[in-house]
Amino acid sequence: MKYRSLSRLFRHYKRRFRIRELPQLVADMTGTHATMAELAGHRAVVTGASRNLGAEIALRLAASGTAVAVNYRSSRDEAEVVVASLPDVDHGRHLAVGGDVSDPSDSERIIAEAKRALDGPIDILVNNAGPYIAKPFLELEEGEFDRVWNVKAKATYLMTRAAAPGMKDHGWGRIVNLSASSAYVRNRSIYTLANAAIITLTEELALELAPEILVNAIAPGQIYESLGELREKAPEWAEKVMNSTPRGRLVTRRELADMVVLLCSPVFDSVTGVTVPVDGGLRLNTF
Ligand SMILES: NC(=O)c1ccc[n+]([C@@H]2O[C@H](COP(=O)([O-])OP(=O)(O)OC[C@H]3O[C@@H](n4cnc5c(N)ncnc54)[C@H](OP(=O)(O)O)[C@@H]3O)[C@@H](O)[C@H]2O)c1
């Protein structure tokens, strides 16, 4: 029964975000959360979760029993729709929390508000927000450099700084950062630089925050459902990426969100400071 209602939510979600076509794999996976680790009783903040990958991560965490604070910067209505679509959990309700994660006072407030509303310590943080810019360094404006750097690298630091003390006091915490395969293929200027920084930051934080808090990252390849946006921003790259993945297909939001849940689960209790590429082999060099 529970699975049937989750399938219904997933269908609603696909309709709401106008995802018309998904690989069969995703449809087949609708029931696989039965084998995913349960995270009942936990409380999470997911940044940049009013749509796309962040919204999917919020959904998968909630489906695993986590109460979720859905962060957004300005899209409040979209964030509320995501909140309304999340499955109920036993220990409270999900909520939307506005705020710019690259702003030091907002980052503190987001964690404080989430903690107050969810009535307990935030023990899972997913640093997902991160803008994409496809411009070479010499064409980049300084403001664009700052925006990508600040919302990816600096915000990961600021949000972690805001959340980690509470996790330490609580004696348990999981932080998952979003990097990208662009960190490895190194041809996306500031986007590559910021995503490579996330990998190093993840390792540094894993050392600093052990033993209570595990810090890991995932590095997605081009996401299947985001291909349309990429076609608008960088059409030549969109065509190329389709033919560059040894696996022969692009990664889906669902697969990435499930990997985030796994990294928060007891299955990964001994894993910290790691970045997991989830890219079908896109990052591998060919000769
Ligand atoms: N898309 C891909 O193919 C791909 C591939 C590899 C890696 N990634 C990584 O995966 C992550 C998610 O990608 P995505 O394409 O799903 O992202 P996206 O669609 O650009 O994310 C949009 C979300 O981020 C929020 N956001 C933007 N700036 C923010 C800020 N300063 N503070 C708080 N929230 C902010 C937006 O809120 P508002 O609407 O309110 O501004 C919205 O909720 C990113 O870190 C990205 O680098 C994506």
- 39-48, pLDDT tens digit by residue? 999 999 999 9
In the block, residue with structure tokens 């390849």: 221
Told to judge if 191 belongs to the known catalytic residues of this protein, a careful annotator would answer: yes
pLDDT band at 92 (very low <50, low <70, confident <90, very high): confident
Å from CA of 203 to ligand 1 middle:
22
Are 46 and 21 in contact by the 8 Å Cβ rule? The answer is: no
pLDDT for 11 equals: 56
The finding on whether 102 has its CB within 6 A of some atom of ligand 1 is yes
Evaluate: CB of 82 within 6 angstroms of ligand 1. Answer: no
Instruction: Name the closest-CA residue to atom 30, ligand 1.
Output: 100
Q: How far apart are CA 180 and CA 241, in angstroms?
A: 14
Instruction: Name the token pair of 247.
Output: 């696996």
The finding on whether 73 has its CB within 6 A of some atom of ligand 1 is yes
What is the rounded CA–CA span in Å between residue 99 and residue 179? 21
Q: Is the CB of 279 under 6 A from ligand 1?
A: no
**Which atom of ligand 1 is closest in space to residue 150's alpha carbon?**
31
The whole-number average pLDDT for the span 123-147 is 96
Tell me how far apart the alpha carbons of residues 32 and 200 are, in angstroms, rounded to a whole number: 32
Tokens matching residue 96? 């939307």
CA 62/CA 281 separation, integer angstroms: 29
Q: What is the pTM for the complete model shown?
A: 0.89
Sign of the CA dihedral with 194 first, then 138, 145, and 252 last: negative
Residue 265 phi/psi, 5° resolution? Answer: -90, 165
- List the chain domain ranges: 38-276
Ligand 1 atom nearest to CA at 102: 31
Closest by CA to 92, choosing from 112, 121, 71, 72, is: 121
pLDDT-based confidence at residue 219 (cuts at 50, 70, 90): very high
Ligand 1 lined by 280 (C-beta under 6 Å): no
149 vs 30, higher pLDDT: 149
Helices in the chain by DSSP H: which ranges?
2-16, 24-28, 52-63, 76-85, 104-118, 142-149, 155-170, 182-185, 189-209, 227-233, 235-242, 253-264
Task: Tell which atom from ligand 1 comes closest to the C-alpha of 50.
Answer: 43
Question: Looking at 13, 157, 184, 191, which residue is catalytic?
Answer: 191
- To the question of domain 38-276 being in CATH 3.30.360.10, the answer is no
HSE-up (13 A, CA, CB side) for residue 115: 17
